[in-house]
Structure 1
């Protein structure tokens, strides 16, 4: 029982860290990265589909994204979807492709993005702590039901605390790396 609760907690904590990692990839650093457009969906013959299912997205250089629609008539809907996505990106079509030039970030914008990154990190830490709390309450319930001894409950709580420390450390490392990436010119 203790092992099952610990495995579940570890799995959920790992998912929280992975979710943070995905969220941090969406934060623009001034470099072209295809994940910037992951949340953009395009109206493709009456249904909304992710951009990567209607076109090929590549980083042609450090500051330019190149989008090549699978069908020529999709250029206008893709441009419209990017404009409406509130990413602050301006697409420009060039024949059969769409280019998005990413302007360099100002110092003020970099500091704002660092605040956003820290906020995301704090939310991930809160999620990890909530998982710890849930696991510890499960252990207390097992103790109350006399399914485990007090010593086993204490060892299980220590084990969950070590997991919590490990995953909070991973979150801190992700934040440190992203902040360094944001502040580098």
Structure 2
């Protein structure tokens, strides 16, 4: 029989924060009409026979609000970097200037903005599911402890703790989504 069950809420909170970190990372890759070096993070270049992130084959800079530049270190990779950007689905048309690739960021039209808000909503839903999965793990631990002899009062206490933590993080996801959607829709 269990003496005193103590749920590791710090572990649950850490795992829920991991879902938030993943969400922020996904949000940073969404284009909002402003130049950002992070928008190139998902782009992989076939460099030296293996997929390599763009920031590992050149220096990525944002010299002005609507321009990203990549100074490719190896002249032989310039064409591959340009091809990777064209095929990435970012909707950006790279311009070559020697070993420097310039990426002018076009204004987003209304239709594209609405599309991006839907993508942001999908990312947020994935984060909510991840938070709920952590909640389920916590509830399973409580049920196991109940089977091992935990009192009903303790069970209710821990279930309330886990639910409060879950509600807090779902609220954080919703706030992040609202902020990102407002940023995307801003002209």
Would the TM-score normalized by the shorter structure come out above 0.5? yes
CA distance in 2, matches of 1:154, 1:129: 18
Hey, what does 1:122 align to over in structure 2?
125
CA distance in 2, matches of 1:182, 1:9: 31
User: For 2:155, what is the secondary structure of its paired residue?
Assistant: helix
User: For 1:3, what is the secondary structure of its paired residue?
Assistant: coil
Which runs of 5 or more structure 1 residues have no equivalent in the other structure?
none
Hey, what does 1:162 align to over in structure 2?
164
Q: Residue 45 and residue 24 in structure 1: after superposition, are their counterparts in 2 closer, same or farther (change >3 A)?
A: same
Hey, what does 1:182 align to over in structure 2?
184
**Is the CA contact (8 Å cut-off) linking 2:7 and 2:142 kept in structure 1?**
no
Consecutive aligned runs of 4 or more in structure 1 exceeding 6 Å deviation: none
Q: TM-score, normalised by structure 1?
A: 0.93
**Is the CA contact (8 Å cut-off) linking 1:2 and 1:139 kept in structure 2?**
no
User: For 1:59, what is the secondary structure of its paired residue?
Assistant: strand
Cα distance, 1:133 vs structure 2: 1.7
Aligned pair count reads: 183
- Structure 1 residue 2 corresponds to structure 2 residue 2: no
Cα distance, 1:72 vs structure 2: 2.2
Alignment of 1:20-169 (within 5 A): 20-146=23-149, 148-169=150-171
Cα deviation digits, residues 110-154 of structure 1 (max 9, x gap): 1121111112212211221221122112101111111x2221111
Q: TM-score, normalised by structure 2?
A: 0.92
Cα distance, 1:45 vs structure 2: 2.1
CA distance in 1, matches of 2:136, 2:106: 44
**Is the CA contact (8 Å cut-off) linking 1:143 and 1:153 kept in structure 2?**
yes
Q: Which stretch of structure 1 is more off in the superposition, 116-125 or 153-162?
A: 116-125
Q: Which stretch of structure 1 is more off in the superposition, 71-80 or 100-109?
A: 71-80
